[in-house]
Chain A
Amino acid sequence: MASPDPHNTPETEAERRAGRLWARTAVMVVVGFVAVFGVLGFVIIPVAQGAQAGIDPWSAICRAVGVSPGSPAMRQPVSDTPAQPVSNVAWTPAILNTLSGADRATGQRLAQEVCSACHGESGVSPSPNFPHLAGQSAAAIYKQLHDYRSGARFNEQMTPVAEALSEQELAAIAAYYAEASDDLRLGTRNPLPDERLQRLVSEGDPSRGIPACNACHARGAGGPIETPMINGQHAAYLEAQLTAYANGGRRNDIYQRMRTISAALTEQERRELAAYYQGTR
């Protein structure tokens, strides 16, 4: 080390002291900055805003910090309106586990004893008044049975049947029919009468607030879990349900999803869509 490198000389005591002073100053500036703006944002502003809106200082601070709901500057709306649920089915993990772990053998036995007279031996119904169940989604069957049992949906034949079954049995039946083969359901393909109907099926009608049928009802489309498969379903049954939704005779669809859509469709569209879906696979 003949020529001393200016960047590599040993620090003098004075330099070390200056370095420590700088570090202390920097830490104090950062801590001071956080503290000042913390007090400003979480105490002074909320309390000042709360005073204008008639909110006590403590609530205002809690809201600003995020402990309690609402804004420190606005009074929080309260609602004590009683709940009027249209369906008592909640898709909690517990119910989804019950469905996925349901005993299909029990389901098959119950289906033979209770359901087959109307819905067919294998879930393929011979009468257009009774829906096919084979291949239907388990969540859809469970939801409807549960709604019959709770009174959210009413049918002279189905309500007493569902009321006589336990929660586990409903799940077992739903699981059995979901697995049953729906090969026999394939109808003759009904061509769509015109482009207008094709648009309803695949694109919907934004001007009337109608989403595409296939946005929820196509296989694997997504949408609410309880959405039934309607491909190959009896046209008479589908039309009867659409009409019931439209005139308020049936209203167990959560958040009026189908009541809104059915009421926006014309009677002719409901009939044509039902006929179209009977012929789809």
Chain B
Amino acid sequence: MSGPEGEEKVVKSELRWALAAGAVVFIIFAAVLWAAITMRMNPPSNIEHADPATLHMQGEFTESNLGTTVEPDGRVTVRMVATQFAFVPNCLMVPQGREVTFRFVSPDVIHGILITGTNVNTMIVPGYVAQVHTVFRQSGDMLMPCHEFCGLGHSEMIARVQVVPADQFRPGPDGRAHCEGQTPLVNTAAPGVPAGDVDAGAQAQGPLVSGEPSPDPAQATQDAVAAAQPATGE
């Protein structure tokens, strides 16, 4: 192939392939755009700082604030600390079919989580809040292992996620929900006062669900939403 005729052919062929490649790129961008606007899908990015040295002393990641909380506006937020070598709390109860926001922090090294059978998967980098929004489609017990090597105890660092049908999800009057058999992470007694001789066995059993189960969960949700009206969310 030589001469002006051959060159013309080459240019034409190049243009055709460039159009084909351009069309593929266009389709991908269109799909991203469509997913972003109609399904509100975004890359899981969140720039939010959290000082690892003082996590346990101030703000939302102190011990008693961890776990599943139903916010006044009815949304479910899970706060969790990944530390060497455990998740705190080590079991979570979340409702099926409702939007759940996970907020993870680490006070020590880089950890990571994934919840088996779902696409919840993130790294937890000290200094930042890792945030994931999800909706659980299936109920059941799922495992949540640490998937970023964090030290000698890494292989024992596994939490459980109990996804229960929405009508069985009964947060207590304080909006908190705990796993069955989980001791709530609440430290209400004044510091420094020994709790006395509590039977270890009884402590491990703990209350099944925090507080009184509300007689009608739908009503409880309704109340929570109503209570949220005066509060300004954003």
Q: Is there an interface contact between A212 and B42, defined as CB atoms closer than 8 Å?
A: no
Shortest CB-to-CB span from B198 to chain A, Å, is 4
Q: Is there an interface contact between B156 and A81, defined as CB atoms closer than 8 Å?
A: no
One of A67, A85, A153, A251 near B62 (C-beta < 8 A)? A85
Q: Write the chain B residue with the least CB distance to A48.
A: B37
Question: CB of B12 within 8 A of chain A?
Answer: no
Question: CB of A243 within 8 A of chain B?
Answer: yes
Q: Is there an interface contact between B40 and A248, defined as CB atoms closer than 8 Å?
A: no
One of B41, B156, B196 near A249 (C-beta < 8 A)? B196
Q: Is there an interface contact between A260 and B86, defined as CB atoms closer than 8 Å?
A: yes
Q: Is there an interface contact between A223 and B62, defined as CB atoms closer than 8 Å?
A: no
Chain A binding surface, main DSSP class:
loop
Question: CB of B157 within 8 A of chain A?
Answer: yes
One of A52, A79, A212 near B156 (C-beta < 8 A)? A212
A268 and B65 CA atoms in complex are apart in Å by 33
Shortest CB-to-CB span from B16 to chain A, Å, is 19
Interface string of A206-234 (1 = CB under 8 A from B): 10011110111010011110000000000
Q: Is there an interface contact between B63 and A151, defined as CB atoms closer than 8 Å?
A: no
One of A206, A209, A214, A247 near B203 (C-beta < 8 A)? A247
Q: Is there an interface contact between A85 and B88, defined as CB atoms closer than 8 Å?
A: no
A246 and B41 CA atoms in complex are apart in Å by 44
One of A45, A205, A221, A246 near B152 (C-beta < 8 A)? A221
Q: Is there an interface contact between A257 and B86, defined as CB atoms closer than 8 Å?
A: yes
Given contact pairs A247-B203, A248-B203, A264-B204, A256 touches B152 in the complex (Cβ within 8 A): no
A279 and B88 CA atoms in complex are apart in Å by 32
Shortest CB-to-CB span from B156 to chain A, Å, is 4
Interface string of B11-42 (1 = CB under 8 A from A): 00000000000000000000001001100111
A264 and B83 CA atoms in complex are apart in Å by 18
A159 and B33 CA atoms in complex are apart in Å by 62
One of A59, A72, A79, A206 near B65 (C-beta < 8 A)? A79
A77 cross-chain contacts in B, Cβ below 8 A: 71, 75, 77, 101, 103
Question: CB of B137 within 8 A of chain A?
Answer: no
Interfacial residues of chain A within 49-94, with CB under 8 A of chain B in the complex? 49, 52-56, 59, 66-67, 69-79, 81, 83-88, 90-92
Given contact pairs A71-B42, A83-B57, A255 touches B156 in the complex (Cβ within 8 A): no
Shortest CB-to-CB span from A113 to chain B, Å, is 25
Question: CB of B85 within 8 A of chain A?
Answer: yes
A224 cross-chain contacts in B, Cβ below 8 A: 83-84, 108
B57 cross-chain contacts in A, Cβ below 8 A: 83, 85, 87-88, 90
Given contact pairs A77-B101, A224-B108, A83 touches B194 in the complex (Cβ within 8 A): no
One of B58, B69, B151 near A215 (C-beta < 8 A)? B151
A273 and B196 CA atoms in complex are apart in Å by 23
Interface string of B138-151 (1 = CB under 8 A from A): 00000000000001
B2 cross-chain contacts in A, Cβ below 8 A: none
Q: Is there an interface contact between B40 and A73, defined as CB atoms closer than 8 Å?
A: yes
Question: CB of A254 within 8 A of chain B?
Answer: yes
Question: CB of A102 within 8 A of chain B?
Answer: no
Question: CB of B225 within 8 A of chain A?
Answer: no
Question: CB of A40 within 8 A of chain B?
Answer: yes
Given contact pairs A154-B192, A246-B203, A211 touches B153 in the complex (Cβ within 8 A): yes
Question: CB of B226 within 8 A of chain A?
Answer: no
B46 cross-chain contacts in A, Cβ below 8 A: 69-71
Shortest CB-to-CB span from B42 to chain A, Å, is 6
One of B64, B108, B185, B199 near A247 (C-beta < 8 A)? B199
Question: CB of B155 within 8 A of chain A?
Answer: yes
Shortest CB-to-CB span from A135 to chain B, Å, is 21
Q: Is there an interface contact between B42 and A73, defined as CB atoms closer than 8 Å?
A: yes
A215 cross-chain contacts in B, Cβ below 8 A: 84-85, 151-153, 156
Question: CB of B60 within 8 A of chain A?
Answer: yes
Question: CB of B47 within 8 A of chain A?
Answer: yes
Known: A74-B99, A84-B65, A223-B152. 15 other contacts (CB 8 A): A49-B36, A53-B40, A69-B131, A74-B40, A75-B73, A79-B77, A159-B192, A210-B156, A211-B153, A247-B195, A248-B198, A249-B198, A251-B187, A255-B81, A260-B88
Query: What are 7 residue pairs bridging A and B, where the CB atoms are less than 8 Å apart in the complex?
Result: A52-B40, A86-B62, A154-B193, A204-B156, A209-B90, A247-B198, A249-B194
